[in-house]
Amino acid sequence: MLYRGMDRAQLDAAYNNSAAVPERDAIFADWAARSAKVRREYAGRLDLADGDAPLERLDLFLAADPQAPCLRLSTAAIGG
């Protein structure tokens, strides 16, 4: 037993999100296609530094109305 009654194989299976979502390839392809469409159709400032580390980057797409509220979505990827 490694954690809460699970051995290594059970833990690996429990945290393997790729196996848990069989349509993951289609989901990722859709995300990539929609991201490419946004980059084609909207002016943006891409790959801006958002910290000291090389992976701390962001893309900025401003609203047409300079008084519009701003939404920031930050995600973290751990590992490499």
Contact between 56 and 47 (Cβ < 8 Å): no
**pLDDT score of 63:** 87
> pTM of the predicted model, to two decimals?
0.60
Contact between 12 and 26 (Cβ < 8 Å): no
Domain ranges of the chain: 8-60
**pLDDT score of 27:** 95
The Cβ of residue 2 has, within 10 Å, a number of other Cβ atoms equal to 10
**pLDDT score of 73:** 76
**pLDDT score of 80:** 46
Block mean pLDDT (10 aa), the chain, length 80: 89 89 94 93 90 88 89 67
